[in-house]
Amino acid sequence: MDFDLTPEQQQIRDVAREFARAELGDRIAPFDERHEFPHEIVTKLGPLGFLGALVGEEFGGAGLDYVSYALIVEELCRGDASIGITMWAHNSLCTDHIATFGSSEQKRKYLPPLASGQVLGAWGLTEPGSGSDAAALATRAELRDGEWVLNGSKAFITNASVASTVVVMARTGPERRSKGISTFILEKGMPGFSSGKPYRKLGLHASNTAELILEGARVPEANLLGERGTGFEQAMKVLEGGRIAMAAMGVGIAQAAVDQAVKYMKQRTAFGKTLAEFNGLQGMIADLATEVEVARLLTLRAAYLKDTGRPAMHAAAMAKLFASEAAMKAATKAVQIHGGAGYITEFPVERIFRDAKLTEIGEGTSEIQRMLIAREILQLT
């Protein structure tokens, strides 16, 4: 068994780490405070190849493996999770869906501008009436005079207002549940397609999350993505990779919490000692650092399985479940280690605490991951 990253993987991780050090951290705090999307920072991800991480070189992407991609997501989220989730939704969901299931013409048309960062991508599965129970989605698409006409809405969509290329799932047949769902590529500017006002959120304030509104949205027939009726299976496959990236997001946030706790423990004194000298806090930091390492190993293993073409759904669910709960726990304990300072916005740990919660909700909640893991172990369908 080889636990070493390849020289290329190490190099990519180092580039992402340096970018996060130079561009994120304290610099993102004003955007977070203003609930503002940091266009100028996101623009810088394109030239680094991070917005085409999973796209083949023939379409202008970096053609990276999933381990490298997970390392980038981890490092960006260690710097700031709003940037991390922006990059995750663009790559794991929108771009990877087109790269995996698109026709040659669709790939030629949509991947190069996504990969270069000329446009951002979003992906809409969740609806106001269906989240965990994705097969209950109600948005409908009907073929009329050579065009698909979509009616419905999508809720909580990352990058909804800043993306130009959007992949959405809609019902195209009378079949119930997961049957009869198809996928479409939409472009901003198509008649009847718009986004709502960005939500005010608990955390990830510098990321964009909004509703997608489909009011008789007219989409060319050629923008059906993959075969009609296979949209649900496609979405589940996309979520496999998405969960690995969400696990990496959890690792990055957990590591950021530990980084901040360590820094504070060394500088703050009480009872004539630094906090680092208190046994109780040493035990806390040792537990947290161990859990971050377990989360990282689970995440990179799931990424490795995906890279080697083996089933990764079960490993992705385990990694996502563990890493997201490790992130929430590390953030909670890091606030505790800061005492009152952890409760005010001056210290980054307050933002990290708010951001961490999303990892237990997005890409399937912890309850859904447990359900998937249990079904696999118990061999239930």
Ligand X SMILES: Cc1cc2nc3c(=O)[nH]c(=O)nc-3n(C[C@H](O)[C@H](O)[C@H](O)COP(=O)(O)OP(=O)(O)OC[C@H]3O[C@@H](n4cnc5c(N)ncnc54)[C@H](O)[C@@H]3O)c2cc1C
Residues annotated catalytic, as ranges:
363
By beta-carbon proximity to ligand X, the closer residue of 213 and 262 is: 213
User: Is the Cβ of residue 155 or residue 303 nearer to ligand X in the bound state?
Assistant: 155
Task: Name the residue whose CB lies closest to ligand X.
Answer: 131
Distances in Å between the Cα of 157 and the Cα atoms of 16, 72, 94, 184, 265 are 25, 22, 11, 15, 38
Which amino acid type is present at position 217? A
- Does 361 participate in binding ligand X (rule CB under 6 A)? yes
Options 65-73, 136-144, 311-319, 360-368: segment touching ligand X (CB under 6 A): 360-368
Of the candidate spans 37-45, 123-131, 264-272, 295-303, the one that interacts with ligand X by CB under 6 A turns out to be: 123-131
Which span (47-55, 117-125, 267-275, 295-303) binds ligand X, by CB under 6 A? 117-125
Per rule CB under 6 A, is residue 267 in the interface with ligand X? Answer: no
Q: Which stretch binds ligand X (CB under 6 A): 22-30, 61-69, 125-133, 218-226?
A: 125-133
- In the chain, what is the straight-line distance between the N-terminal and C-terminal CA atoms, in Å? 32
Q: Under 8 Å CB-to-CB from 188, ≥6 apart: which residues?
A: 163, 164, 165, 166, 195
Q: Alpha-carbon distance 48 to 242, whole Å?
A: 21
364 binds ligand X (CB under 6 A): yes
Q: Give least dist CB 364 to ligand X, A.
A: 6
Comparing CB distances to ligand X, the nearer of 135 and 262 is 135
Task: Closer to ligand X by CB, 91 or 304: give it.
Answer: 91
CA of 126: how far to CAs of 119, 129, 195, 227, in Å? 22, 8, 14, 21
CA distances from 47 to 28, 88, 95, 311, 376 (A): 20, 16, 16, 32, 41
What residue type is 295 in one-letter code?
A
Residue 362 as a binder of ligand X (CB under 6 A): the answer is: yes
CB 162 within 8 A of CB 31: no
Which residues, numbered 52-91, are part of the site for ligand X (CB under 6 A)?
A: 89
Q: Can you tell me which of 20, 83, 285, 358 binds ligand X, judged by CB under 6 A?
A: 358
**Phi, psi (5° rounding) for residue 136?**
-90, 10
Q: Which is nearer to ligand X, 147 or 233 (CB)?
A: 233
Q: Which residues bind ligand X (CB under 6 A)?
A: 89, 93, 123-126, 131-132, 156-158, 201, 204, 209, 358, 361-365, 367-368, 371
